[in-house]
Amino acid sequence: MDFWLKDCKIVPENIEISICIEDGKIRSFKKIAPRRAEIMNMKGSVILPGLIDAHVHLRDPGLTYKEDFRTGTSAAVVGGFTTILDMPNTIPPTNTRRAFLEKLKIARKKSLIDFGFHAGVDNTIHIKKINDLRPVSFKVYMDLVEEDFLTDIFKSISKIDDDKPLISLHCEDKKLIKNYTEKEKRKGRFNPEIYANARPPLTEATAVSNALSLARDYGLNIHICHVSTKESINLIKKAKKSNINVTSEITPHHLLLNLSYLKKCGNFAKTNPPLRDNENKIDMSYLSNIDIIGTDHAPHTVTEKEKNIWDAPPGIPNLETTLPLLLTEINRHNMTFTDLKRLICENPAKIFNLKNKGFIKEGKDADIVIVNMKKEGLINPDDFKSKAKYSPFKGFKTKGMPIMTMVRGEIVMEEGEILKNQGKFVYD
Ligand code: NCD
Ligand code: ZN
């Protein structure tokens, strides 16, 4: 069955076209939709490729009191995302074939949108076996693993015969964090902004440099998650010039918030790496040097967040705030639709090899978000579909809102209402 989306505004070109969708794919484009076919009139609304979030923590299995595949993908679809790539720090962690298959089963049942998984590594003997199941990458937390083990991981992955998988890295140096944290804790203070002193920019720069050296030495592709400082971006820029295969990701909070929010919002703004002061933080002028925006949607309960600064878990839920916040920046002329599409649709599809995603082009999946650029809103965590009802963006005024999300031609969100759908593994 085919149908037409009539009079969609394509950006940045600002032209109106009609799109034919058949069997969940984009079939063709026409200036004027044919009369008799089934038609939905978009009346000149802006359309974007469905957003791809390469960095989410949906907490399923094992931590479903924080989030699960249904609530997490409900939040995603309200926020205009049609594909998510889930992180491995669930219980059990996605470190083995068995855990990967278990997560696949859960997601096939509960996910409203399409999904892929990053695999974790706790023992290199599992790498080859789990790689056959096609994780989008192997994720390594440099704040948690020893240097020798990190080297072992690169070594093992470099020995895989066929296509070598991507390595995603959380770049904060374990040893430095330990030293700085002990020093801060000795002071016996509990005001939230001291958390940033426990993981200063140097901890990130050190880990980024190590990761880049390993990528060079082993000839592997790496993706650096949630880069938070100008210095890290500059290191990555230099590495790219010397032909190291590296891509970078930033989060909406590291882009739009500074250290003062840790003071203002307390643990609701606590995340790893921490928010940075204006001198160190990335700003809009750095966008052209960044490859993707990932939300690092990392939900926790409000009760957990109410613990003291050292005991409260790090993480911010972002699936529902990211697109309205970025559309607001476009309305303010701080970024462009070209940036948005590149950072959160096209590049995630390229980096993680999602062949049918990321572009509104003939033959691609009909993953589409329709946005109303004039619709105003106020960020209110009580309205979140996510189980994590807090946000450092609480009270932010937005202009520009996703009003419809379509996954492979099925409407899954309309005006904030969620409809049934069955998400699919991205490589099936
Ligand atoms: C992540 C989480 O909650 O899973 N939190 C975060 O602050 N980014 C874990 C992590 O990446 O450290
Ligand atoms: Zn994360």
Q: What is the pLDDT of residue 416?
A: 95
Q: Which atom of ligand 1 is nearest to the CA of 87?
A: 4
Å from CA of 298 to ligand 2 middle: 6
Tell me which ligand sits closest to the C-alpha of residue 296: 2
Q: What is the pLDDT of residue 35?
A: 86
Protein residue closest via CA to atom 12 of ligand 1 = 272
Max Cα separation, the chain? 74
pTM of the predicted protein model:
0.98
For the stretch 292-330, pLDDT in tens is 999 999 999 999 999 999 999 999 999 999 999 999 999
Q: What is the pLDDT of residue 37?
A: 82
Q: Report the C-alpha gap between 278 and 16 in whole angstroms.
A: 40
Protein residue closest via CA to atom 11 of ligand 1 = 272
Protein residue closest via CA to atom 4 of ligand 1 = 298
> Which domains are delineated in the chain?
3-41 (no CATH), 51-359 (3.20.20.140)
Task: Give every CB contact of residue 178 below 8 A, 6+ residues apart in sequence.
Answer: none
Å from CA of 296 to ligand 2 middle: 5
State the amino acid at position 154 in one-letter form. Answer: F
Q: What is the pLDDT of residue 184?
A: 96
Q: What is the pLDDT of residue 410?
A: 97
3-state DSSP of the chain: CEEEEEEEEECCCCEEEEEEEECCEEEEEECCCCCCCEEEECCCCEEEECEEEEEECCCCCCCCCCCCHHHHHHHHHHCCEEEEEECCCCCCCCCCHHHHHHHHHHHHHHCCCEEEEEECCCCHHHHHHHHCCCCCEEEEECCCCCHHHHHHHHHHHHCCCCCCCCEEEECCCHHHHHHHHHHHHHCCCCCHHHHHHHCCHHHHHHHHHHHHHHHHHHCCCEEECCCCEHHHHHHHHHHHHCCCCEEEEECHHHHHCCCHHHHHHHHHHCCCCCCCCCCCECCHHHHHHCCEECCCECCCCHHHHCCCCCCCCCCECCCCCHHHHHHHHHHCCCCCHHHHHHHHHHHHHHHCCCCCCCCCCCCCECCEEEEEEEEEEECCHHHCCCCCCCCCCCCCEEEEEEEEEEECCEEEEECCEECCCCCCECCC
Q: What is the pLDDT of residue 72?
A: 99
Q: What is the pLDDT of residue 43?
A: 95
Q: What is the pLDDT of residue 36?
A: 81
Residue numbers of the chain with a pLDDT score lower than 70: none
Q: Which atom of ligand 1 is nearest to the CA of 225?
A: 11
Ligand 1 shell residues, CB under 6 Å: 57, 89, 170, 271-272, 296, 298, 313-315
Structure tokens that stand for 261 in this block: 């929010």
Å from CA of 370 to ligand 2 middle: 27
Tell me which ligand sits closest to the C-alpha of residue 300: 1
Tell me which ligand sits closest to the C-alpha of residue 253: 1
Q: What is the pLDDT of residue 209?
A: 98
Å from CA of 417 to ligand 2 middle: 27
Q: What is the pLDDT of residue 1?
A: 76
